[in-house]
Chains A and B, each alone.
Chain A
């Protein structure tokens, strides 16, 4: 007996379509735990903060949690009038621009140098990675100690060599306070940037360099015309990762100076922390963090687009 074609195909078809239908569901099953946790730990607190930023909520006075439409923008008006916040906001941006770019220039030089080293590559990478073993908290305490006015190694060393006669309050004075923080932050992060750029340099195709060599291009020309353009995607990754990190800077500043003295080294997030935790002014702190998070997200989106563009070119 010859089977009717339809009776054979129908179950196969049914199986096929069930399989196709499950294809729509399966990725969501995979993502369910991730989305649940992010909703609980990031999205819920953000929604909560958005609400609170429109109320005068003070943690010590629960009745201030109530929403009053006539005064909903009060916190946002207040932060625009707050000179400390505005200064901290721009200080953060300048701090980010300066440290990230300095880091990048130093890391670029180091990566080109390390790529040319012929012996002890293992040792040299270990040396390079030593600062990466330190948690940001450790780096903060360590540099707070080095720059300490009374027992710090920097004063101590400079005075025993005779370069200085009276101790300097590095973390208190302007502008050495923010410089010291920048130095600590750069010390910790130059290795990461260097490794990204070194990985990029080592992955560049050798044929291009051989061809340039034959054409008589100088080392500088090769660097400008070959290395730099081909390294572009790696540079963007390094700059993206680092800018986002520095934009969120908190640990090192909190430990070295806590934004002080008198807000001299305040960055956005130490000020938000101070408002929310020390002063209990959660409404105002939320408005400040909303403004900063939105600026941060816009900046992230911009960097991601640049990154995606350079990926396409690759």
Chain B
């Protein structure tokens, strides 16, 4: 893709640009490649001196022992539980954050109600508070409702974590939809709900998809709150579960790499699916306010 911001260059100069860009980005991706390699290596190739750069043998051993399928290793880490908990908390919190955040974004994009600036700022500022500052009071609050160490309690907290960004994105998306559409819907006798539900929402679905992906990944990767609000395999998620591979003196690096690869699957799907629209999408809601 040749862009308009770019002047035509001589062929050799262009070739150098291409090569340098690929060299730098490949170099940058190497640490990630190492993690993925390690997940598929036999145990004998991990942490050797000198390092075995290219795996000599590919094996699914590490994954088999994660799920307790390997007779030679005891299954020490309840990966199945973590997978379930991560899926439930991410899906639940994304669903609610998307529903509420879309409503909120619509309110800001269509109605200049009294105090809308202050409320918008308040919602955005709530994101400036890091999880660790909220975690202890939240722990005490959730304890009153018996929600500590439950996926529902954690999902509830994640809804709040994800709402500000969803509101911001959806506000931007709704502003792209011409207001005349609502006006004509009102003249045809639509109420506010009907106009929102029938006219604007269907047009904002691509925006909701984008916001949903961001919310899902944020919940999926969250560590600070989960580390305090969950304790047992009944509610612990992947990021907290990674600690299971560390003991006081040794760390099972290969097992950890295998779990990392599992944990990256949603993000990998996301990158493959959105790689084309990403560059446009990231600043879509942001610039045209």
- A binding-site residues for B, Cβ under 8 Å: 19, 22-24, 26-28, 30-31, 33-35, 37-38, 40-46, 48-49, 52, 110, 113-122, 124-138, 141-143, 145-146, 151, 153, 156-157, 159-160, 187, 190, 192, 195-196, 198-206, 209, 213, 219, 222, 227, 233-234, 237, 244, 248, 250-251, 254, 269, 272-273, 276-277, 282, 285, 289, 292-293, 296-297, 300-301, 304, 311, 314
- Chain A's closest residue to B2 (CB) is A118
B54 contacts chain A at the CB level, 8 A cutoff: no
Q: State the CA gap A236–B159 with chains docked (Å).
A: 27
Q: Which of A24, A46, A120, A130 contacts B29 (CB 8 A)?
A: A130
In the bound complex, residues from chain B placing their C-beta under 8 Å from that of A277 are: 136, 228
Q: Given the interface contacts A34-B100, A41-B134, A201-B5, does A135 sit within 8 Å of B47 by beta carbon? A: no
A42-B29 in contact (CB<8A):
no
In the bound complex, residues from chain A placing their C-beta under 8 Å from that of B4 are: 204-206, 209
A134-B100 in contact (CB<8A):
no
Q: Tell me the chain B residues, 228-252 only, with Cβ under 8 Å from chain A.
A: 228, 238-239, 242, 251
Among B58-66, B77-85, B125-133, the stretch in contact with A? B125-133
Q: State the CA gap A311–B4 with chains docked (Å).
A: 23
A276-B136 in contact (CB<8A):
yes
B209 contacts chain A at the CB level, 8 A cutoff: no
Q: State the CA gap A311–B9 with chains docked (Å).
A: 33
Q: Tell me the chain B residues, 114-172 only, with Cβ under 8 Å from chain A.
A: 114, 116, 119, 121-134, 136-138, 140-141, 156-157, 159-161, 163-164, 167
- Chain A's closest residue to B34 (CB) is A153
In the bound complex, residues from chain B placing their C-beta under 8 Å from that of A311 are: 287, 289
Residue from the set B116, B192, B193, B238 with the largest chain A CB neighbour count within 10 Å: B192
Range of interface residues on B (Cβ < 8 Å): 35 or more
Q: State the CA gap A285–B137 with chains docked (Å).
A: 12
Q: State the CA gap A267–B194 with chains docked (Å).
A: 50
When A and B form their complex, which 10 residue pairs have the shortest distance between CB atoms, in order from nearest? A206-B4, A160-B50, A41-B160, A45-B137, A135-B221, A248-B130, A27-B107, A30-B107, A27-B111, A127-B25
Residue from the set B25, B108, B140 with the largest chain A CB neighbour count within 10 Å: B25
In the bound complex, residues from chain A placing their C-beta under 8 Å from that of B238 are: 135
Q: Tally of A-B residue pairs with Cβ under 8 A?
A: 283
B56 contacts chain A at the CB level, 8 A cutoff: no
B101 contacts chain A at the CB level, 8 A cutoff: yes
Q: A34-B163, A42-B126, A129-B271 are in contact. List 13 more A-B contacts (CB 8 A).
A: A27-B113, A46-B133, A117-B21, A124-B22, A127-B26, A135-B239, A135-B264, A195-B279, A203-B283, A206-B4, A213-B7, A269-B130, A311-B289
In the bound complex, residues from chain B placing their C-beta under 8 Å from that of A37 are: 100, 156, 159-160, 163
A116-B6 in contact (CB<8A):
yes
Q: Given the interface contacts A30-B103, A160-B50, does A219 sit within 8 Å of B7 by beta carbon? A: yes
Q: Tell me the chain B residues, 41-98 only, with Cβ under 8 Å from chain A.
A: 47, 49-51
Q: Which of B14, B49, B192 contacts A26 (CB 8 A)?
A: B192
In the bound complex, residues from chain B placing their C-beta under 8 Å from that of A297 are: 125, 128
Q: State the CA gap A116–B215 with chains docked (Å).
A: 32
- Chain A's closest residue to B265 (CB) is A133
Q: State the CA gap A233–B287 with chains docked (Å).
A: 8
In the bound complex, residues from chain A placing their C-beta under 8 Å from that of B192 are: 22-23, 26
Tell me, rounded to whole Å, the shortest Cβ–Cβ distance linking A149 to chain B: 12
Tell me, rounded to whole Å, the shortest Cβ–Cβ distance linking B54 to chain A: 14
Residue from the set A22, A41, A251 with the largest chain B CB neighbour count within 10 Å: A41
A137-B242 in contact (CB<8A):
yes
In the bound complex, residues from chain A placing their C-beta under 8 Å from that of B280 are: 199
Q: Given the interface contacts A45-B141, A127-B26, A135-B239, does A199 sit within 8 Å of B126 by beta carbon? A: no
1/0 per residue B177-205: CB within 8 Å of A?
A: 00000000010000111001000000000
In the bound complex, residues from chain B placing their C-beta under 8 Å from that of A19 are: 186
Q: Given the interface contacts A42-B134, A196-B283, does A138 sit within 8 Å of B260 by beta carbon? A: yes
In the bound complex, residues from chain A placing their C-beta under 8 Å from that of B286 are: 237
Tell me, rounded to whole Å, the shortest Cβ–Cβ distance linking A26 to chain B: 5
B18-A272 in contact (CB<8A):
no
Q: Tell me the chain B residues, 254-289 only, with Cβ under 8 Å from chain A.
A: 256, 260, 263-264, 267-268, 271-272, 275-276, 278-280, 282-283, 286-287, 289
A127-B28 in contact (CB<8A):
yes
In the bound complex, residues from chain B placing their C-beta under 8 Å from that of A117 are: 17-18, 21-22
B18-A199 in contact (CB<8A):
no
Tell me, rounded to whole Å, the shortest Cβ–Cβ distance linking A255 to chain B: 8
- 15 A-B contact pairs sorted by A residue (CB < 8 Å): A33-B99, A33-B100, A34-B167, A37-B163, A40-B141, A49-B137, A118-B17, A122-B276, A124-B21, A127-B26, A133-B271, A135-B267, A277-B228, A293-B128, A300-B125
Q: State the CA gap A276–B157 with chains docked (Å).
A: 20
Tell me, rounded to whole Å, the shortest Cβ–Cβ distance linking A276 to chain B: 5
Tell me, rounded to whole Å, the shortest Cβ–Cβ distance linking A148 to chain B: 8
Q: State the CA gap A195–B130 with chains docked (Å).
A: 25
